[in-house]
Structure 1
Amino acid sequence: MFLSKLLEPVKTTAREAGAILWEMYQTGNFTEQQKSDSSPVTTADLAANAHIIAQLSALTPDIPIISEETHLVPLAQRSDWPRYWLIDPMDGTQEFVARSGDFAVSIALVEHGWPALGVIYWPKEDVIYYATRGNGAFKQQANLIKRIAVHQHQAGEQLRIAVSRRQPRQPIIDLLSVTQQVEYIPLGSCSLKSCLVAEGKADCYLRLGPTGEWDTGAVHVIVEEAGGKILDSQFAPLSYNQRETLANPDFMVIGQAAASWSDLIRAKSTTRIL
């Protein structure tokens, strides 16, 4: 009941933040900077971040918030939080700057160390993906809402892999142990590629390189409620709020959790924490 009461206000907040991003994207009225890790941040990220934090703080004043664009409190202060909001005000800042339109708002509620509510909003397509734990995953465009599920991949069937528009593809190819034809589906934004798997338009997404827990929190519950999994490079579950840094290891988003993915994807010798 608690999650169901939060869902619609969070969807509204994601749409409102997306509208802020979309207006700044269309007008070009933003500036870009480099963060300490050399990743880009824009005034659009910060404007959306401020709106989301204000709305969530009003909605649930007793629930703390972790955002990619705000200072992270030390682990000693947050390790015993029973629940917290985990947000990325704009997943896909590089795509925003590059004008592809493949960027999204990501809002998750993490309860007892695991994502329980997730909302992803894609302003360009006016599409929202959402899920709450135990209640299925959904895609909404305008007033059309449909339940989504991962594709039931069969042995020998063409494997469809969601890939970045901008990162080299060869490291992904090197991880595959497949003989059948592979289709690569390019798309920006980590969360949007994961949503492709959740709605059955891709079979998997392999992510190599730096990401944070805010990149996977919302989509994690969406993927799992759609029948898939998000695992690290050793096929182990991801964790949340367990480290001083919230950096993710390399990970994979896989559909049809019962499939023999270890026969299709070579596990890396080590799980790299970036």
Structure 2
Amino acid sequence: MFLSRLLDPVKSAAREAGAELWHMYQSGDFQQQQKTDSSPVTSADLAANRIIIDRLSELTPTIPIISEESNLAPLSQRQDWPRYWLIDPMDGTQEFVARSGDFAVSIALVEHGWPALGVIYWPKEDVVYYASRGHGAFKQQRNLINRISVNNHQPGDRLKIAISRRQPLQPIVDLLQSQDEVEYIALGSCSLKSCLVAEGKADCYLRLGPTGEWDTGAVHVIVEEAGGKILDSEFFALSYNQRDTLANPDFMVMGQASIPWPQLIKARRTERSLSI
């Protein structure tokens, strides 16, 4: 009941933040700078961040908030939090700057170390993906709501893999055990590619390179409620709020459980996955 009561106000907060992003995107009235890790941040990210934090603080004053665009509390302070909000006010800042429209608002509630509620809003398409643990995953476009599930992939079907518009393809190709019957689907935003898997438009998404826990929190519950899995590059579960930084290892978003994923995708250990 607690999660179900939160869904509508969280969807509203995501839409409000997304509307502000879309206004600034269309007007071009935003400033860009680089963070210390050389990734871009814009005044639009910060405006959406303020909206979401204000709305969540009003909704649940006692639940702490972790955001990509806010200072991170030390692990000693946050490691015993029973629940917290985990947000990315704009997933896909590079897509925002590049004018592709493939950016999204991401809001998750993490309970006892695992995502329990997730909302993704895509302003360009006015689409909300959402889920709460144990209650299924859904896609809402305007007033039309449909339950979503991973693709019913059959033996012999072409494997559909979601890929980034901005990253080279070859590292992804190198992870595949076979190159036969593969179709690549390019889209921006980490969370939107994961949602492609959740709604059955792609069978998997292989993510290489830096991401944070805010990139997977909301989609994690959406993908799992749709029948899929998100695992690291060694086929182990991701973890949340366990380390000083919130950096993710490389990860895989996988659809239908009956697909023999270890026979299709090479497990690999990386320095990043070993260090976190």
Instruction: Please give the TM-score of this superposition, normalised by the length of structure 2.
Output: 0.98
Amino acid at match of 1:272: R
Structure 1 unmatched runs, 5+? none
| CA distance in structure 1 between the aligned counterparts of 2:132 and 2:94, rounded to whole angstroms | 29
2:175 alignment counterpart: 175
Q: Does 1:158 align with 2:152?
A: no
Question: Are 1:126 and 2:134 counterparts?
Answer: no
Task: Give the aligned partner of residue 229 of structure 2.
Answer: 229
User: Percent identity of the aligned residues?
Assistant: 78
Find the aligned partners of 2:86 and 2:269 in 1 and give their Cα distance: 30
By how many angstroms is 1:155 displaced?
2.5
Unmatched 5+ residue regions in structure 2?
A: none
Q: What is the CA–CA distance in structure 2 between the aligned matches of 1:124 and 1:206, rounded to whole Å? A: 24
Asked whether the 8 Å contact 1:234–1:271 carries over to 2, the reply is no
Q: Any runs of at least 4 consecutive aligned residues in structure 1 with deviations exceeding 2 A, and if so which? A: 269-274
The AA in structure 2 aligned to 1:36 is T
- Check the 8 A contact 1:250/1:271 in 2, yes or no: no
Deviation at 1:185, TM superposition (A): 0.3
CA distance in 2, matches of 1:172, 1:154: 22
DSSP-derived class of the 2:52 partner: helix
Counterpart contact for 1:233–1:271, Cα < 8 Å: no
Match of 1:23 in 2: 23
Q: Corresponding residue for 1:12?
A: 12
Aligned AA (1:14): A
Rounded to whole Å, the distance in 1 between the matches of 2:24 and 2:222 is: 28
Which AA in structure 2 matches 1:12? Answer: S
CA displacement at 1:152 relative to structure 2: 2.0
Q: Distance between the aligned counterparts of 1:237 and 1:155, measured in 2? A: 26
Asked whether the 8 Å contact 1:129–1:138 carries over to 2, the reply is: yes
In the alignment, which residue of structure 1 is the partner of 2:141?
Answer: 141
Partners in 2 of 1:258 and 1:130 — Cα distance?
24
TM-score (structure 1 length as normaliser): 0.98
The alignment of Structure 1 onto Structure 2 pairs a total of residues equal to 274
Q: Structure 1 CA distance, aligned partners of 2:61 and 2:253?
A: 33
The one-letter code sitting in structure 2 at the alignment partner of 1:149 is S
For the aligned residue pairs, the C-alpha RMSD in angstroms reads 0.9
The aligned amino acid for 1:269 is R
Residues 221-259 of structure 1: CA deviation (Å, up to 9, x unaligned): 000000000000000110000000000000000001232
Aligned pairs (5 A) from 1:242-261: 242-261=242-261
Which letter maps to 2:229? K
What amino acid maps onto 2:211 in structure 1? T
Partner of 2:47: 47
